[in-house]
Amino acid sequence: MSTSAEKSAGWRDRNWYVSLSGFWLEYKKHRIGLLGIVLLVLYVGMAIGAPWIATHDPSPTARVAPNYMAPQWVSVFDPEGVITAEWMPDTALEDPDSWMIDPAAPVFYKNGSNQDEFDYLYHESTGDNDFNHVNLTWIHSNESMSWRTPPDPDDDLPASNDFIYFTQQFEWPYEAIPSDVNMTIDFAITQTGDFARLEGGLMFKVYVWLIDYSGNWRNVYRSYPLYSDSYRARQIDLSYLDIVEGWRGMAENATGWQEDLEDILTIAVGLVPTAVFHNYLGSTPEFEYTGSVTVSVKSISLVAFGSYFGLLGTTDKGGDAFSQLIFGSRISLTIGILATAISTAIGVIVGLTAGYLGGKTDEILMRLVDFLLVIPGLPLMMIMASFLGPTTDNIIIVIAILGWTGTSRLIRSQVMAEKNKAYVESARAIGASDTYIVMRHILPNVTPILFANITLGVVGAILSESGLAFLGLTDPGQPSWGRMLADAQGTGGFTHGAWWVVVFPGLMITILSLAFTFVGHTLDQVLNPRLRQR
């Protein structure tokens, strides 16, 4: 029986292993080739890991922040600059301690005097739902309520002084107010009894307040029916006055606001009765009115926008430039590799056929190649892309159809040199078929020079895709580096000072092209005997 050492020595003696070992020993002598491989590995890793690396939706139409916001790291040159971020410390409401519940009281009230009107404020995680939520439950009883006189539904505070609520706080570290603020509250409402029957939910509302440093309550959201027991996200876009009133006292600006009286801002969410409910109580005996309302809040988020956002800023449509840049590597590599593979296969077939058969076949095929070479490539690609449609598959086909001519000429010249050599004549003499001679003898001898041509072909395909994307002929819903450059150019990125939407996509295209060029140049030196002898 053979030992493991003998087995290892056996496969190491095989031709393919010896050839690969010799190739690698020669290749690693070229530092520029090693650099190209390292860069390609980084790009491939970025493309594969894009879903985990990207921080936001990479779609070019997905708006995550205002247009043309500078990268976050640029803020080191602007100490007073506000960085766009999510500021709510517990958006998923996973930590009960973040709700600011007073342990001395079972429930929050605002100037409330009739505690029997309300149920307990509590937190739970139930059954099939893998999330936590806060429940605000109001059960009407026979006790009278403390109504404001007269009730004013347009005021920042509700008509009743009795309502249940919970709060969250966050710290604001800047000396300036944000330029814009968006809040999102995700809640569901369950009604029973007369609440579910009368007036379609007009007898209560869900309020969201900003509570500033002095304790003033400013209403920024109030709900309206119809209500649902399914969770739905409500978007709240704060007005300029909301931001000024809420952030006053936490920030100092040129107008002389007070300096850092309090760096904490409070968000309150409450379930409150309305003036409509007050009118019902005035016309109906209270003991005849029964029912309950439960508001289940699943999440609260607050995004404050400033002058800076993310790792690479935002695009002309407010998209995350970093996420688009990461996912753009997928488009460039996919189109570059697939288009080159298809065009190489076509070029090899045409070159082998023309070079080996010669005669009229060679004349017809080469005249077709000459015709395609005479026509300007970019205009022809523009016409074909417009005709076929701006999809990734069509772009690959367009680039492949017009990219095989150089490969066919190269392969034809090599085949014409090889087919008259002695080893081919010997194969013919022993009765080998033309197909056998081409596939087993000629093709392996012309393959080395093909590898270098393939790597350089990928560069051409990537640049072609970028050019078509820049001209708006690729899928507008797919992020690509060329699309980013086109969007920046079409909306005046440099005019707005948004250099990051031009510089970084350009660098990605340049570095990837250089990586393939480095590898192709090194392959040419290693596999081309004449260059190796030099």
3-state secondary structure of 186: strand
- More confidently predicted of 340 and 254: 340
| Residue 326: predicted pLDDT | 93
3-state secondary structure of 155: coil
Cα separation, 165 vs 147, whole angstroms: 17
Go through the domains of the chain in sequence order and give each one's CATH number: 20-60+315-533 (1.10.3720.10), 85-305 (2.60.120.260)
Q: Which of 396, 381, 392 is nearest to 345 (CA)?
A: 396
For residue 448, is the peptide bond before it cis, meaning its omega torsion is within 30 degrees of 0? no
Determine what percent of the chain is predicted with pLDDT higher than 90: 6
| Residue 469: predicted pLDDT | 79
- How is residue 393 written in tokens? 């598959």
| Residue 412: predicted pLDDT | 86
**Does 125 score more than 50 pLDDT?**
no
| Residue 49: predicted pLDDT | 92
Cα separation, 109 vs 209, whole angstroms: 14
3-state secondary structure of 178: coil
Indicate left, alpha or beta for 267 from its phi (over 0: left) and psi (-120 to 50: alpha). Answer: beta
Write out pLDDT tens, residues 489-521.
766 666 677 888 888 988 988 898 888 888 888
Q: What are the φ/ψ torsions at residue 23 (nearest 5 degrees)?
A: -65, -45
Of the given ranges (170-179, 264-273, 485-494), which has the lowest mean pLDDT? 485-494
pLDDT (mean) for 110-125: 40
Q: How many CB atoms lie within 10 A of CB 263?
A: 14
H or E, element range at 451: helix 443-470
CB-count burial class (<10 Å; 0-12, 13-18, 19+) for 387? exposed
Q: CB-side exposure of 471: number of CA atoms within 13 Å?
A: 15
Amino acid (1-letter code) at residue 413: S
Residues composing the chain: 534
Q: CB-side exposure of 77: number of CA atoms within 13 Å?
A: 5
- More confidently predicted of 73 and 12: 73
Of the given ranges (69-73, 245-249, 268-272), which has the lowest mean pLDDT? 245-249
